[in-house]
Structures are given as C-alpha cells and as structure tokens.
Chains A and B, each alone.
Chain A
Amino acid sequence: MARLVAAMSGGVDSAVAAARAVEAGHDVTGVHLALSRNPRSYRSGARGCCSIEDAGDARRAADVLGIPFYVWDMSTEFADEVVDDFVAEYAAGRTPNPCLRCNEKIKFAAVLDRALALGFDGVVTGHYARLVTAAGSPSSEHTAELHRAQDAGKDQSYVLGVLTQEQLRHSHFPLGDSVKSDVRAEAARRGLQVATKPDSHDICFVADGDNAGWLAERLGPRPGTIVDEDGAVLREHDGAYAYTIGQRRGLRLGVPADDGKPRFVLDIEPVSGTVTVGPREHLLVDALEARRPLWCGTAPSDPLECTVQLRAHGAEHRARVEVEGDLVRVRLHDPAEGIAPGQAVVVYVGTRVVGSATITATARVEVGAGDGR
C-alpha cells in the first residue's frame, strides 16, 4: 500500500484512475489543481480542466470514492512555467505544447515534489500510458519504463515523454491497459457523475478556444507581411503568432498562387514577423534538430533506429536518432510535413518511450524526384 495523491481534474479519466488506486488498496488523497487565480476565466464545465465547475466535479468524485479531497493552488507556478512560456514561445515564432510543459513542470514536478514533501509516496493520474518495470509492476527499486497505452486512440505517452526516471518511479497510470469506452462504463458503474462528461480538448487556459485572439490580447498587434518563397509580399498581417507552420486555412491571400494550388505556411521569422507561404510539398522535412532532451532512463549512446512522434496524436515516423549532449539529431526515413520548431519530438523503441526533446530546426536533406526544390 502506498500513500498517493490522485490528481483529479474533474474529468472521467482521473476519477476512474483514483477509484482504481483506492481499489488496489492504496491510501489515496484527491487533489484538484487550481491553475488560475481567477477560475472563472478558464474553460468551463465540459471541455476544460481548471474551472470552478471542474473543481466541483472532482470534489463530487472524491466524495463518491470516500477519499479526502483538497484543492492545491498551483496558479503561480502554472502562470510562470506554462502560460508565460506559451506566450513567449509564440512570440518567438515557435509552436509550443503547453500540456507537455504542464506535465514536466507542474503535475510531475511541483505537485509531485509537494506530495513527497508532505509524506506521500507518489502521484496517480488518469493519463493513458503504461508503466512497466522489471518486476512487472511499478516500484521504486526497479527501472520504470513508460509505454504506449493499450488504447491507441487515447494514448497519451507523447505528453508524458518529458518525465524522468525519478518522476516515473513515483507515478501511477491505472488506465494504461484500458480503452476509453470501458473507462466510461466503469465510471457509470461506480456511480461517478462524470461518466458522460465530454473529453477535454484544446488548451485549458484559452477560455473560448480562440488561440490567435488570446495571444493577440497578450502580445498586442505586431504587424508583418505574408510573402511567397520569392519574397513577394502577398498581404500584411497583425501578428505572426496567429500562424502555425503547416497552416492552410485563414491565410486570406486573395489572389491564387500561379499554379492555382493551395498555399501553406512554410516558415515564420519572428523578428520581422515575416510569414512565408508556399506549396504543400515544400512543407516536407526529413531532418530535425532538437534541444533540451529529457530521457526517461539513460540517453542513447549510439545512433538509435527508432520511431518518433512529432505532435500529440500524430503519426509515428521511422527515424534514426543521434544524441550529442544537449543536441538531438533526427533523420526521418520518409519526409513528414507541418513540423514546427517548439513542438516536441518524442522517441520510441517499439511501444517504449525513450525520451523527448524540443524541436529547434527542420530541414529537407534528401530531395526526392519531382520535388521541385
């Protein structure tokens, strides 16, 4: 039996995860993380993870499970580590993933550290991922391996790719072997009111889902131009942060391209705010550089034949990875499109997560026939 903090978002997954931890005989305390000083400003109810309604849903789930429940105020940490970083990354022309950042800095850092200091043994969450140890069950004496979840459609190992061995050893993911429909059915069977609550989507601190509008409020107008690959100005814009590499919709270019084909955002230059657009095939890259690696165990010492995932719920790409200290070089066996600096590359061998790093540069090295570049 372990003394565990169950991070309860108010959603169905974390409620069932907590229930399973209780049933496994652990001494579980429910904790809801308050991530905003003003909870009303965050997404409410069905779709978010940090509103007043969600805190109430989490509290009711803890009541049903018969476990103590508290709200931990992580709003300062969340603002500093996640929200400010999100804004700064967009301002620098990159595309960050705040969920990874939250797992790295809040859920499995600030929360876990606090839990350990208060005498708990670890943290249980409703993430869909599996932990495997040599002994077959998570234990602090053995190396903990992070693996993809059974339910490929729900697999969240990508957003957990930032966790270190120490963090993994203190983590419990009771939903890793389950499929979502079973989790919902189990919630209903256990009398949890959140059984039918819709899944959360998008970014919890962007209240209305309007990412560009939310950023515009914080970054203000930063006018720049949209240009084609020859540098010809197609139109002006109010802020490059409204654009993401690979974006096609909402460019409002007016005149069609010479070849009449759709154009995509290929590059964002943050200082001048220049957004370059071009044809889809120019989105393809096969070489990545990434920095600030975080390894679930030891760093790979030799070039590693593996697969990589480049965005949440994205495809797996066959790749070869080489590590030189802080630098991770990734060569994709087949080119992939729409890869933006700021995104995380998560490295897998089979279903096992090796580690992650933040993409800093992309390139096209091997140009295929008819590629035109």
Chain B
Amino acid sequence: MTSENSERAPAVYLDHAATTPMHPEAAQVLTEQLARTGNASSLHASGRAARRVVEESREVIAECLGARPSEVVFTSGGTEANNLAIKGLYWARRDADPARDRVLFSSIEHHALLDPVTWLASHEDARIDTTPVDRQGRVVVERLREQIEADPASVAVVTTMWANNEMGTVQPVDEVVALAQRHDVPVHSDAVQAAGYLPLDFAASGLDAMTVTAHKLGGPVGVGALLVRREVAPVPLVHGGGQERDLRSGTVGVALIAAFARALEITVERQAEVSARIERLRQRLVTGLVQAVPDAVVNGDPEPGPHHRLPNIAHVTFPGCEGDAMLMLLDAQGIEVSTGSACQAGVPQPSHVLLAMGYDDAAARGSLRLSLGHTTTEADVDRLLAALPQVHERAVTASLVRGR
C-alpha cells in the first residue's frame, strides 16, 4: 500500500509556531547525551557528570535569557511551566493572604494558560478577570489598570503573554509590569512564542516568572522552563524528590536539557540575522498574498519590530472562506499551514483570540496562520503564493455550497 507523502515534493513547512525543526547541533547533543548513564541527583561519578551537564545547560539558558541560573526551573514544556506559574503563584499569594483571590489575565492567552486559569475559578474559587485587547490583539493596559485599581489588595497574580501565538502581536509587558509593581502584584508572562525571535531579558523585564519551551526554538519537544525570580516561591504542582528548587520534583532529563541549551544558544547567537531575514520573507508573503487574493485581510499589528510583532507569524482572514478547507487543499499540495485555532476532536473551534479582537465567528473560521522559521526559504513563500489563488477559489466555492 502506498504511504502518505511518498510521491510528493518536499513539504513547504509554514507552521513553525506549532513546532520548528531542531537545529542539527541540538539534535547531535541530544543523541550524544541520550547515550549517557547517570541520574543528576546521584552522588557518584556518573551522577556528578550528569549534574554537570544539567548545570552547565542551566547557566547557558540563564545567560541567553538574562536570568540567574538559580532562576531556571526545568519543566516538561510550556504547558507545565504555565500551570506551575499561574496555579503556584495563586496558591502562594492566597496562602499568605486569603483576600488575594483574583487572577487577571489577557483574553488572548494560549489554552495552556487559559485553561489553568479557568480551572482555578472552578476548583479553587478564584475570581478571574479577563483583560480585553484592541483590534490588533494587544492588551489594553488602561483596562488592566482599572481592573487592578478596583481592588489592588485582592489581586493574586497578573499574567500577559509576551507575544500572541496566533497573531504574533507583541504585548506591552513592560507597562503591565510597571502597573502591577505599584501594587506589589507578581506578574507572569508566557514567552513561548517570543523566545525564538525576540531578544528577552528576564531581569530587565521585571517579571516574576516567565515561560519558555525548547521546541519552538529548535530544541526537542518535552522540555521547557519556568524562569522564577529567587524571591518568588510558587507552590509546586509536582511533589517528590525535591529537584529544581523543590518546585518541580522528578529526575531531570539531562539530554533534553542539554539539547534545549544548545538550541537556545544557537538561536540567540543568530537571532538578529535570522529574525531580519524572516521579517523580509514575511513581508514578501503578505505583500504577495494580498496581490493573489485582494480581499484577504492581514491581521495583527502591521508594524515590524520587537515592540510590535513577531517577524515569523502572518495571520490572514479570507472573507467568505473556510480556513480548514484551505488548509486541506494546501496540504494536498504539500504546503503545511495552520488555522491557528484549537481543536476539539479535530473540530475547528472559532479562535478565541480573533473573537477577543472583535472579529465575528465567520472571520474566525476563515483564517489561516502562516508561520515562518529558521529553515524557511524564499522558494517556500513563492510556492505558497503560487498555490494560493486556486486554493482560495475552491475554498470559496465549498463555502458557498455550505451556505446554500
């Protein structure tokens, strides 16, 4: 029987925001370290050797992100880091003062943050307040100020992602931090999408906690970190051997951590050059796209630059068209993109991010997220642009059939 993809041209991969190819150097470190025996908690020579790899990796990661090594807490990835941050900080703050029962979060957070927050509301009696965003998908700081100042003593924690995973819009994290600090409220930021493409400085940011993950920047899936300021002690989710400052028990994954460090090191080293190149490709993409499909609308902040948007994400709405039909037709030609929205049993749900930005259900269903990365070439962009007119036409027809 034939196997999928066996006769296709190499895929044009435009879904780097989902996961991006590993840097070969990181893959090499991973395989080398997988061959090693040694529990980093053991006291003998093998244990010490493993521990050394972990600690050296921790130092590299801290250095790359403007943090101290002791502030790097390894987790299984972004979702766990977000859970540890939001639940852990909520519990710690509430334990210190039962009056602190409010969680303020932006309306465009990833499900890995949104769902733990709503869980806190349903299981821990947290009161949760959503901070709205503007039409570009940026948090309205003035509204956050009102929310905090309505009753500052009741705020347990504030969280705002660094850059949105669907739009690429960069959030005003510095303003959020300044606002919260006035009331001694801790701030967390999910920087999973930003870390690969923008320079991040944890110390300078003033954040209390920040989430990063390896596989969005050329490292392996299965490892991430929560950067936690030394003075901040979230209540742990996972109890056991007391690893990672007692914040995250469990034998540490030496090979994953070493590969994570190598990937981040390469990313930071090349970031200025790669991000500039990707930004040019993104502009080629959106310019060509609007020429190919004149009624397409490019969403988010159009202005390039680290305070405006990520260079690698283009989010586009095709009026009167279904995103999942376009995805399927592009996939059939070996061009891989995303609708950018969450699925339930594979059923596309309208994106809560677009809805929060004031778009209607139809626009939310008729959108694609095209995300570029370190392996993207001009030829990739051009193949997409060449395929797009026919794909769009067919998807519009399919949508008309449905509306009949």
- From B6, which residue of chain A is reached at the shortest CB distance? A66
Whether A71 touches B347, Cβ cut-off 8 Å, given contacts A114-B402, A118-B395, is: yes
**A55 touching B345 by the CB < 8 A rule?**
yes
Most buried by A among B343, B345, B398: B345
**A52 touching B345 by the CB < 8 A rule?**
yes
**A70 touching B401 by the CB < 8 A rule?**
no
Q: Indicate with 1 or 0, residue by residue over B372-404, a CB within 8 angstroms of chain A CB atoms.
A: 000000000000000000000011011011101
Q: Indicate with 1 or 0, residue by residue over B1-21, a CB within 8 angstroms of chain A CB atoms.
A: 111101000000000000000
What's the Cα separation between A119 and B347 when bound, in Å? 21
**A39 touching B394 by the CB < 8 A rule?**
no
**B398 touching A70 by the CB < 8 A rule?**
no
Residues of B in contact, count (CB < 8 Å) = 25
Chain B residues contacting A67 (CB-CB under 8 Å) are 4
How many chain A residues sit at the interface, stated as a range, is 20 to 34
What's the Cα separation between A70 and B332 when bound, in Å? 11
**B394 touching A117 by the CB < 8 A rule?**
yes
Interface residue from B3, B6, B346, B398 paired with A114 (Cβ < 8 Å):
B398
Q: Is A75 an interface residue (CB 8 A)?
A: yes
A186 to chain B, nearest CB (A): 13
Q: Indicate with 1 or 0, residue by residue over A16-35, a CB within 8 angstroms of chain B CB atoms.
A: 00010011000001001010
In B331-376, the 8 Å CB interface with A consists of 331-332, 343-348
- From A51, which residue of chain B is reached at the shortest CB distance? B345
Q: Is B292 an interface residue (CB 8 A)?
A: no
B101 to chain A, nearest CB (A): 30
B2 to chain A, nearest CB (A): 6
Chain B residues contacting A52 (CB-CB under 8 Å) are 345
**B324 touching A66 by the CB < 8 A rule?**
no
Q: Is A113 an interface residue (CB 8 A)?
A: yes
What's the Cα separation between A363 and B138 when bound, in Å? 69
Interface residue from B332, B347, B401 paired with A34 (Cβ < 8 Å):
B347
Q: Is A107 an interface residue (CB 8 A)?
A: no
Q: Is B325 an interface residue (CB 8 A)?
A: yes
Q: Is A147 an interface residue (CB 8 A)?
A: no
Chain B residues contacting A70 (CB-CB under 8 Å) are 324, 328, 346
Q: Is B128 an interface residue (CB 8 A)?
A: no
**B346 touching A55 by the CB < 8 A rule?**
yes
What's the Cα separation between A39 and B349 when bound, in Å? 13
What's the Cα separation between A117 and B396 when bound, in Å? 9
Chain B residues contacting A359 (CB-CB under 8 Å) are none
Interface residue from B324, B344, B345, B398 paired with A117 (Cβ < 8 Å):
B398
In A72-121, the 8 Å CB interface with B consists of 72-73, 75, 77, 110, 113-114, 116-119
**B1 touching A59 by the CB < 8 A rule?**
no
Interface residue from A73, A77, A116 paired with B347 (Cβ < 8 Å):
A73
- From A33, which residue of chain B is reached at the shortest CB distance? B347
**A117 touching B4 by the CB < 8 A rule?**
no
Interface residue from B1, B4, B329, B347 paired with A118 (Cβ < 8 Å):
B329
What's the Cα separation between A72 and B397 when bound, in Å? 16
Interface residue from A23, A39, A113, A114 paired with B1 (Cβ < 8 Å):
A23
**A66 touching B346 by the CB < 8 A rule?**
no
What's the Cα separation between A75 and B348 when bound, in Å? 11
What's the Cα separation between A323 and B404 when bound, in Å? 30
**B331 touching A59 by the CB < 8 A rule?**
no
Q: Indicate with 1 or 0, residue by residue over A310-344, a CB within 8 angstroms of chain B CB atoms.
A: 00000000000000000000000000000000000
What's the Cα separation between A116 and B400 when bound, in Å? 12
B4 to chain A, nearest CB (A): 5
Whether A66 touches B345, Cβ cut-off 8 Å, given contacts A110-B402, A118-B329, is: no
- From B327, which residue of chain A is reached at the shortest CB distance? A70
**B402 touching A68 by the CB < 8 A rule?**
no
**A117 touching B400 by the CB < 8 A rule?**
yes
Chain A residues contacting B328 (CB-CB under 8 Å) are 29, 68, 70, 118
**A118 touching B346 by the CB < 8 A rule?**
no
A223 to chain B, nearest CB (A): 38
- From B365, which residue of chain A is reached at the shortest CB distance? A73
A54 to chain B, nearest CB (A): 9
**B347 touching A75 by the CB < 8 A rule?**
yes
**B3 touching A118 by the CB < 8 A rule?**
no
What's the Cα separation between A71 and B328 when bound, in Å? 10
Chain B residues contacting A287 (CB-CB under 8 Å) are none
A183 to chain B, nearest CB (A): 17
What's the Cα separation between A19 and B6 when bound, in Å? 17
Interface residue from A59, A65, A66, A119 paired with B394 (Cβ < 8 Å):
A119
Chain A residues contacting B345 (CB-CB under 8 Å) are 34, 39, 52, 55, 71
B73 to chain A, nearest CB (A): 34
**A68 touching B347 by the CB < 8 A rule?**
no
What's the Cα separation between A22 and B3 when bound, in Å? 11
Most buried by A among B2, B346, B401: B346
Chain B residues contacting A34 (CB-CB under 8 Å) are 345-347
Interface residue from A73, A110, A114, A118 paired with B348 (Cβ < 8 Å):
A73
What's the Cα separation between A23 and B1 when bound, in Å? 7
Chain B residues contacting A119 (CB-CB under 8 Å) are 329, 394
What's the Cα separation between A34 and B402 when bound, in Å? 15
Chain B residues contacting A22 (CB-CB under 8 Å) are 1-2
What's the Cα separation between A120 and B323 when bound, in Å? 18
Most buried by B among A23, A32, A75, A119: A119
What's the Cα separation between A75 and B346 when bound, in Å? 12
**B344 touching A39 by the CB < 8 A rule?**
yes
- From B395, which residue of chain A is reached at the shortest CB distance? A118
**B329 touching A66 by the CB < 8 A rule?**
no
What's the Cα separation between A193 and B344 when bound, in Å? 23
Chain A residues contacting B329 (CB-CB under 8 Å) are 118-119
Chain A residues contacting B348 (CB-CB under 8 Å) are 73
14 further contact pairs, Cβ within 8 A, besides A65-B1, A118-B394: A29-B328, A66-B2, A66-B3, A68-B4, A68-B332, A71-B346, A75-B347, A110-B402, A117-B397, A117-B400, A118-B325, A118-B328, A118-B397, A119-B329
Binding site for B on A (CB under 8 A): 19, 22-23, 29, 32, 34, 37, 39, 52, 55, 59, 65-68, 70-73, 75, 77, 110, 113-114, 116-119
Would you give 16 A-B contacts (Cβ < 8 Å), ordered by A? Answer: A19-B1, A22-B1, A23-B1, A32-B346, A34-B347, A37-B347, A39-B347, A55-B345, A68-B332, A71-B343, A72-B324, A73-B324, A77-B402, A117-B400, A118-B329, A119-B394
| A-B pairs with lowest CB-CB distance, top 4 | A71-B346, A117-B398, A34-B347, A117-B397
